[in-house]
A and B are shown apart, each in its own frame.
Chain A
């Protein structure tokens, strides 16, 4: 269940300065900002929803779709970049048929680009639900994704 009302109780309805902390809080708790939650923030702070949406879309940290069951993070740090993370990302986009910050229709996978995740020795690296997959190639990606899909079917 979405947690919004409880979060809002912790913030006074006065003043805009609470806006970003509230959005962060909701993002942290729910993993994303739903339309309903943004509207509630608007009601709470007595601000037009267009403004809240405008502020939220300004920052990359907020997502507007729920994360997939398997959240794929692609490292785009320097080491990974040098070793071909751009083509890793491309391959993922075409295998999953989604762009970064999107979630696949079946809700299984979501994709995110992250800055260096500190595993440069493993470059190019991706992380799926926190589990690292090292020295990724176009072929190994397909394999990895297939494994997750099978896990789901079993």
Chain B
């Protein structure tokens, strides 16, 4: 089929939307409500084009091309219409750009610039809506909301939570929770995927900047930091380096410049998690306890289960997440080694995740008033921190992490992507059950960004069924199968975010799935080239067990590294 676009004939495939044809041919039209690879909603009308045959302005994202259309993408009529839409959106906008986290990274700003909006022609009544700061992870500033609906759709279609929707009608429309209450009493799992798609500063993470700055200035505090496996491959592009480049050495150096006294790697905690989790799996299999066992390192998933699947809680591994395990070791093992009082340690982490902020303040993560982790920065906040302190990340001489919680293996490293936890756990479980290492560490069946991956692994006489899901909406489908009686799966990895933590809700705002792929690939490259590829060979982990914990699932391990979950009553 052929259609004419800006007087040039283009090929169109059957059922292809006009927007897809334009994108394929390098013609840009602005979009707002549209989310790539999701069903078009056609709500904002920003993507208008003109069909000169019918004389109509049509939304390119939701209109399928038909034979002999004559499309103009930038005729005066079209650009004027688009400009008016932006002017209307701006008419009641707070114009807070200079004070906004999304300044210089805002789609509304970009549109206004692109369409040459230089004066205020339309003046609307400013809304006076309050800011919802009740959640421990997400802040909602409704005055900056332009009602594109992207958050609503992601929350429903990708995360399967649906705690927000449009409420009221007409000029009173807002996006909010049931009964317009705070996010904290809704079923929100704090994943932050809504932030990732929000075009403006209406959705942001709860900022932990000031607490950390105060701690860094406090001479009585030893300030310790850890960073998640995915962080070192998610930052490079923010500092003009090659996307996906592993810059852990530069990060270590930067963190010391920022004033942190000790720099640890959450990847160490990931290895520790694997030691505990694989032992738990083996124990459950040998003692014929509840199976399948489901991973517990994603706090978005854990809260989701507590709300929507309380009957499945017994399936979830009792292991704390790598962040909390590292935190717990900082305030016990490390404190003992350094002769520090736990209360004098301020423990910070950098995470690709907003749900980690929630996890950090769960009461199960505090013992006698001492929290495992005191403050949590997202990748985005970390980027701001580096810039704020005038650090040129690229030019820094790479440095090593500190001992005793700094050594990483590549098994812990691949935790950052969907399938990585399962792969790392299987490597160690195999060794524990057979006394031998896997012939081939790479378990291809669980790699890649598919919604769900399944495989069977032969360990001795045992055939282990493994399933990996990312995006909680996909977890739901699998859980329903398990509830309906599926028995061939013994171990399940769940990550709330699409792609796992490399696509986490705390990552740099980037609508491109390409970035997620590049980060995942980089983690697997690290694994290909690593000298230690199994968690049980991490020398620091081995030392920790000899010096402090005894063995996996020991009494001490249980006290410090394991936790419990409870049914959560929220508005579903």
Contact = CB atoms under 8 A, between A and B. Distances in A.
Contacts of B571: 39, 49-50
A60 B186 CA distance: 24
A48 interface: yes
A50 B186 contact: yes
Contacts of A54: 165-167
Contacts of B273: none
B14 to A, nearest CB: 31
B163 interface: yes
Interface string A41-69: 01100001111111001111000100000
Nearest to B176: A50
Interface in B352-369: none
Contacts, number: 49
Given A38-B178, A42-B572, A53 B169 contact: no
A48 B169 contact: no
Interface string B162-202: 11111111000000111110000011000000000000000
B173 to A, nearest CB: 9
B162 A50 contact: yes
Instruction: Name the residue in A38, A51, A52 with the highest tally of chain B Cβ atoms < 10 Å from its Cβ.
Output: A51
B476 to A, nearest CB: 12
A65 to B, nearest CB: 12
B168 A52 contact: no
B168 A58 contact: yes
Contacts of A42: 572
A94 B186 CA distance: 34
A interface secondary structure, majority: helix
A53 B162 contact: no
B60 to A, nearest CB: 28
A48 B163 contact: yes
A57 B168 contact: yes
Nearest to B160: A48
A48 B167 contact: no
Interface residues on B, range: 10 to 19
Nearest to A56: B167
A52 B177 CA distance: 10
A48 B169 CA distance: 19
Interface residues of A, number: 17
B572 A48 contact: yes
A51 B169 contact: no
B572 A51 contact: no
Contact of B165 (A39, A43, A53, A59): A53
Instruction: Name the residue in A35, A38, A43, A49 with the highest tally of chain B Cβ atoms < 10 Å from its Cβ.
Output: A49
A59 B166 CA distance: 12
Interface in B482-522: none
Interface string A17-54: 00000000000000000010011001100001111111
A54 B173 CA distance: 10
Contacts of B166: 54, 58
B178 A52 contact: yes
Contacts of B187: 48
Interface of A: 35, 38-39, 42-43, 48-54, 57-60, 64
- Which 7 A-B pairs give the minimum distances between C-beta atoms? A48-B162, A54-B165, A49-B178, A50-B165, A53-B178, A50-B178, A57-B167
27 contacts: A35-B179, A38-B178, A38-B179, A42-B572, A48-B161, A48-B162, A48-B165, A48-B178, A48-B187, A49-B178, A49-B571, A50-B162, A50-B163, A50-B177, A50-B178, A50-B186, A51-B162, A51-B165, A53-B178, A53-B179, A53-B180, A57-B167, A57-B168, A58-B166, A58-B167, A59-B169, A60-B169
